[in-house]
Structure 1
Amino acid sequence: MYQPLEGFSKSWIFKRSDPSVAPEDVAQIKMLTELAAREIWRNYISADQLHPDHFSTQDWQQKEAAQVPNGKLLWEKAWDSDHDDLPELLLAHFSAWGEDTTVYFCCHNELVFEMPWGVFKRVWKACLFLDNGPVLVGKKKKQAAQFHSNGWVNLLYRVF
C-alpha cells in the first residue's frame, strides 16, 4: 500500500531546511503505491479524470454544491511568511477534524500522500511545493480543499 518516500523524485521537499520538516513528521508521511493512489483517487477525487487539470463540470470539485461560500482565499501569502500556521480560514474549514484524522493529499491519480491532519498542518508548506491543483481530503470527511499554483485555494465540500 505504501512505497518509500525516498523513491519519490521530489522527496527533497520534505528534507529542506526551509520549510523545515521534523524527522518524526517525515516518518508519518506515507506515499501510496500507484495502485493504492489510484484507488484513493477514484474513491475520493474522480473516477473519470487522472489529473486536476482535467476536472470537468461532472467532477464534484466543480459542482455548485461543493463550493463553500466565500471559500476562495490566497494561501501563497501565508506560505511566503515566516509563520508556519495554515491560514485561519483553512483551519476553520477543517475545524471538525481531529489531529489524528487521516488525510490524503492527492496530486494526481498516481501520486497521493497519506498522513494525519496534525502532521499536514505542520508540513503544509513543504506539500505545497506540489501546487499543481492537489486536493486535500479527509478519510470519511466532507470537507476538502483544492490548492492552485496561482496561490489560491478553494474550500470545498465533497458532494456526489
Structure 2
Amino acid sequence: MDYISLDDYSRKWIFTHQSMPIPEQDLAAIMPMTQAKSSVFWKDNISKQSPDAERMSSQDWATSNQNWLDSVNWMSNWESDDQGLPDEIFEHIDWQDDVTVYFCYEKYNVIQTTWSIFKAHWKNFLFFDDGPILVARRRKQALWFTSDGQVKLGNRP
C-alpha cells in the first residue's frame, strides 16, 4: 500500500479545520503517502541525504541558487480572505489542472494530489510552512515555500 487514509494522517486537521473546510470530493483527492513511499519519493526527487528542507546539503538540487529564478511573498495572500496563490506562481507554472503534484513536507511526509486541488486549497497545505517543496510528475518547475512567507520559483535539474 502506497497511501494512508486521510483519517489516519497525523495532520488531517489542516484539511478539516472548521475555518477552512474542504469539500468531501476534494478531500478524496488528497492522498498522504505512507512513510516508506514518502521516503522513496523524497530520495528520488528532493534529497538523497537530507530528511527535511532545513538540513539540505550542498549536493541537493534545491540548495543551488541557479535552480531558483525568483522569490515572491505568499504570506500576504495566505492571510487575506479571498486571495489565491500569488500571480507570479501562475506566470511560472502553466500546468493543466489534472497534473499530479507532490507536496513534500519532509522525507516521511509527502502528499499526492492534483494541481487543481492544490490551487483551490493551498492555504490548508501551508498550515505547516516549514520548508515544503511542491513538484509535479514529469515537470521541471518547483515551488519551495519558506516559513518567512516567501516562495521560491524554480526548476529542478
Please indicate, yes or no, whether the TM-score normalized by the shorter chain is above 0.5.
Answer: yes
Counterpart-to-counterpart distance in 1, 2:76 and 2:117: 21
1:101 counterpart = 2:99? yes
**Structure 1 residues 29 and 84, CA gap change in structure 2 (3 angstroms):** farther
Aligned amino acid, residue 50 of structure 2: Q
Cα RMSD for the two superposed structures: 1.0
Match of 2:91 in 1: 92
Counterpart-to-counterpart distance in 2, 1:74 and 1:19: 21
- TM-score, normalising length: structure 1: 0.93
C-alpha deviation, 1:48, in angstroms: 1.2
8 Å contact kept, 1:84–1:122 = no
The percent of aligned pairs where both chains have the same amino acid is 34
Counterpart mapping for 1:1-160 below 5 A: 1-68=2-69, 71-95=70-94, 97-159=95-157
Runs of 4+ in 1 over 4 A off after TM superposition: none
**Structure 1 residues 84 and 7, CA gap change in structure 2 (3 angstroms):** farther
- Which sections of structure 1, spanning at least 5 residues, go unmatched? none
Counterpart-to-counterpart distance in 1, 2:12 and 2:63: 30
99-108 or 78-87: bigger deviation: 78-87
C-alpha deviation, 1:47, in angstroms: 0.8
Aligned amino acid, residue 23 of structure 1: E
Partner-residue secondary structure (3-state), 1:2: coil
Counterpart-to-counterpart distance in 2, 1:93 and 1:54: 26
